[in-house]
Structure 1
Amino acid sequence: MVVRGVAVSSMTVEDCEAYKDFLVAPSPAFTGPKRSRAGGRWRPFAPGGLSPDSQAYAVRVLRAAFTWLTDVRYLAGNPWSAVHDPATVTREVPVQVGRALPAGLWTGLRAALDARCAGDEAEGQDAEARQWRTARAAILLMGDSGLRRDEAAHARRENLRLLSLPSGGAPVWALTVTGKRRKQRTVPVSVATVRALREHWADRGRDFDAALDSAPLIVPLVIPVTGTARKKHGGAVEASYTTDAFGHLVRQAIQRVTVEFAARPDVPKEHLVQLANTSAHAFRHTFGTRAVARKMPVDVVQAILGHASLQTTSIYVRAEQQRMLEAAAQYYAADDGPG
């Protein structure tokens, strides 16, 4: 309306194409530094225009808006239906497999968690052990099943089942979760994880093995004193962790273990650095790297992790190959010497 003097109801395909060009390089009157929308100096675009991805997103939004205006008969037609999206490049998904814990560190962390969870009946120490048992269940649920933080936080008991295998082997625990793009998938759950969950449920005064028990797998045992938290967790129905609170539970436990490891001479410095920078999502990567290292088929790893593309899962394979080559190089260097 401002640049071309055309009303929205009169836009043509040529006007839409002109707007696409405008998104590449908005005129100076529409650009400016970031400011409050309430101020008179606010402008809709930053200097330099939109990125190709943002341009394509803007076109899709406008096309959808005009489709709705056409459906409600405000417009006679949708000129954006004849306009192609701006060209974009689909970038490789940056899966940060370097965050995965090495096998030795993962084993040491689990041993440290088990020791912390033992606790005793002394006043205060048993309450602390219960909190450690909550954190251990959360970490194992991600590290042994490859769940995302949100998936683990909202996992429920009624979706965890003991399934018999057609081959006649030992039954396997399986958990159904809803992940990205609202897609359901079923992941295996280790015996160690189920054992940790049982202890966490015992701390809650609940029977983990009760038939058809409907409740979150993991819930807070220590409720903050804020009114919102009290209201959320004060009812008869147990409330699950929020995604951020779940991540905070895990990070807090890892930070305390890192302090403990720092006083031990047998823990390498690089392990301390990695553990200090470990987030909840790192345990999902830990599962991926361990699964590939143990020769689990890549398509099975893809299904468990819920990757839409096998290309994403293959990053774990390339990372394992890289580790193998580096280890081989060090092995040969010890015999052959420099060069």
Structure 2
Amino acid sequence: MPEQLHLQRQFSAKDFAALRAFVQRLPPATIARTYYDPDDDEHASTPGAMERYLRGMLATLVDLAIEHGSTVLADHLKTSIRRHGSANLTAGALKMVEEAARLAVATPAATHGIGMWFRPMVARHLKGRGIATLGDLVAYCNARGGSWWRSVARIGPGRARRIVAWLRRHEASIGLHVEADVDLADPLVAADADIIAIGGAGAQIAPLERIALREVLNGSKGINRAAGFPFFQAHDDLAAIRAYLHLYRDQPKTLRAYTKELERFLLWAVTVRGKALSSLLVDDCEAYKDFLKLPSPAFVGPRAPRSSRRWRPFAADSLSPESQLYAVRALRAAFTWLVDARYLAGNPWKLVRDPVTVEREVTLQVERALPEALWNDVRAHVRLRSTTPGNHHWRIVHALMLLLGDSGLRREEAAGARREALHPVVADDGTELWALRVIGKRRRERTVPVSPETVEAIRAHWRDRGEDFDTPAAAGPLLSPLVIPNTQTARRKHEGDHRMPYYTNALNRLIDWLRRRLLVELETLTPAAHAALVHMSPHAFRHTFGTLAAASDVPIDVVQKVLGHQSVQTTSIYVQAEQRRVMREIGLMYVKRAASE
């Protein structure tokens, strides 16, 4: 009976695509690899199992088509079965069979695995983000809005639009709604969000650049406003905050940090405390200090673009004591400036004690440094992979890794390093090195040595970019993306000869990619080496430089200058770490000697 057939076996749109390929004589192994995921589809585990599944599917559909199709189609199929033992279909005949057998098509459900409806590559990357079912996918999109796809590898804006459109078409059967602001347009080129007025009924939360304070909370009549004229023009608290942040317009990292702290405090003041910033007193500041320990759920959410209504000031439901301390000190400094500029009459934060923190014995995580043997293995492996034609990604990673590990750069310094600041020098003994000027912490400029191996890696990366590293007019970032995203914003940034460097966070992703590849490709890793790779980060290479320099008896003041430490005491941690390593190795030697006697 056709009803029994329908209950026994259901087929997805992916199955029909695979069957069309089968009718066109594609090998079952190719079909399994293209359309299925062995983790979700047992019938794709071997070519034989794949062929049996497709032949069974074809037989089921033919039976349904004979039962529900036209008389002409039914007669054609019966004749084909009598002659060949099974229906011998062309692509055109299969299309008619599909139309007649639509009641065999499975409808998507929230509990269906991702692999049932999406091709293996897409399903694999979605699973990598913890998305196992269609219900998980809808929840993931709804939690992150139009930019949900940015955190999923190989899911660009085009594929994201198709996935969201498919989810919307099947909302009825899935039983879950994809929210309206999971926009099908590229979120990078979406129009700016409307300004949100804060301070009335139904409090909303939005970032600093998108808010307008209602008069009752804008601070124009704040009780802590200075009586005399201010040294800058600001009618309300929002203008005063922007004037303060404008001081750091040339320090993007500091600007981001201070913006985060001030907008958190302002939003808390007007939505939770119900007071203007310029009306807050000491008890209000104490209450905010307690709030930092456990922000309310309305202030916490997954990372989202600042243009999204899902944006929240906090990404975690609690802050570490160190982060709480930083927030209090940043706010105290901002209020001090507002008092000095005669916008505020007094600074309530001066009477608020700092949050209690534990003073760390060692502030630098030097234990993250790679052991010398592992560092040499990593260098050799990456160097070998970089020599293969077409391995552009390995060459980018090779140049980045050596900038960090051979020159001790911070990731921000590596991202901002430019060709104009790199030039060859000859040491007193005739050794040829390169010198690179970088802008480090606190906007301090310093010069670091760059090894010939690093320069050669950078030179190879430039060849991939189609640029001549050695021309006298060579200019631009040392490291830059080879592939430009297909968005209007990205194209504008890279238009003409204006090449953009990597963003700092992109360097994290490059090193994370390297870490995953090394864990798979490096053979005979010891447990200690494996643990070191698991925790490898961009800063681990900087620590590697410091510890190996100390081990090579490089004078500590030289190491300090290269690393850009403000105090020699900070650099001495690397010496202490090396001394502990020496003692540990000698101790092991004593133990082995005692055991052999």
Over 3 Å counting, the alpha-carbon distance change for 1:143 and 1:33 in structure 2 is closer
- On the 8 A contact 1:178/1:185 being kept in 2, the answer is yes
* Alpha-carbon distance, 1:310 to partner: 1.5
In the other structure, the counterpart of 2:416 is 154
Matching of residues 89-238 of structure 1 within 5 Å:
91-92=359-360, 94-119=363-388, 126-127=389-390, 129-165=391-427, 167=428, 169-238=430-499
1:333 aligns with 2:586: no
- On the 8 A contact 1:157/1:216 being kept in 2, the answer is yes
Please point out which of 569, 581, 588 is paired with 1:311: 569
Over 3 Å counting, the alpha-carbon distance change for 1:239 and 1:33 in structure 2 is closer
Matching of residues 53-92 of structure 1 within 5 Å:
54-69=327-342, 79-80=346-347, 86=353, 91-92=359-360
Over 3 Å counting, the alpha-carbon distance change for 1:227 and 1:55 in structure 2 is closer
- Larger relative contact order (Cα-Cα within 8 Å, sequence gap ≥ 6): 1
Structure 2 gaps, min length 5: 1-221, 228-279, 300-308, 310-317
In the other structure, the counterpart of 2:554 is 296
- Structure 1 vs Structure 2: percent identity of aligned residues? 40
CA distance in 2, matches of 1:173, 1:337: 49
1:104 aligned partner, one-letter code: A
> Alignment partner of 1:36: what SS?
helix
2:540 aligned partner, one-letter code: A
> Alignment partner of 1:7: what SS?
coil
> Alignment partner of 2:491: what SS?
helix
CA distance in 1, matches of 2:543, 2:519: 19
- On the 8 A contact 2:368/2:532 being kept in 1, the answer is yes
* Alpha-carbon distance, 1:326 to partner: 0.6
* Alpha-carbon distance, 1:36 to partner: 3.3
In the other structure, the counterpart of 1:8 is 224
Listed one character per residue, the Cα deviations across residues 39-67 of structure 1 (whole Å, up to 9, x for unaligned) are xxxxxxx9xxx966654444332221122
CA distance in 1, matches of 2:586, 2:325: 43
CA distance in 2, matches of 1:32, 1:136: 42
Q: Report the TM-score, using the length of structure 1 for normalisation.
A: 0.77
- On the 8 A contact 2:289/2:328 being kept in 1, the answer is no
Over 3 Å counting, the alpha-carbon distance change for 1:172 and 1:118 in structure 2 is closer
* Alpha-carbon distance, 1:304 to partner: 0.6
Q: Report the TM-score, using the length of structure 2 for normalisation.
A: 0.46
2:521 aligned partner, one-letter code: E
CA distance in 1, matches of 2:469, 2:288: 60
CA distance in 2, matches of 1:111, 1:32: 47
CA distance in 2, matches of 1:52, 1:249: 31
Please point out which of 241, 246, 270 is paired with 2:502: 241
> Alignment partner of 2:592: what SS?
helix
Over 3 Å counting, the alpha-carbon distance change for 1:220 and 1:51 in structure 2 is closer
> Alignment partner of 2:497: what SS?
coil
In the other structure, the counterpart of 2:176 is none
Moved more, 86-95 or 194-203: 86-95
Over 3 Å counting, the alpha-carbon distance change for 1:20 and 1:144 in structure 2 is same
- On the 8 A contact 2:417/2:438 being kept in 1, the answer is yes
2:564 aligned partner, one-letter code: G
CA distance in 1, matches of 2:406, 2:434: 12
RMSD: 3.6
- On the 8 A contact 1:20/1:55 being kept in 2, the answer is no
* Alpha-carbon distance, 1:251 to partner: 1.7
CA distance in 2, matches of 1:162, 1:181: 26
- On the 8 A contact 2:328/2:354 being kept in 1, the answer is no
Over 3 Å counting, the alpha-carbon distance change for 1:27 and 1:134 in structure 2 is closer
Listed one character per residue, the Cα deviations across residues 50-85 of structure 1 (whole Å, up to 9, x for unaligned) are 966654444332221122226xxxx7xx5559x678
> Alignment partner of 2:342: what SS?
helix
* Alpha-carbon distance, 1:20 to partner: 4.7
> Alignment partner of 1:69: what SS?
coil
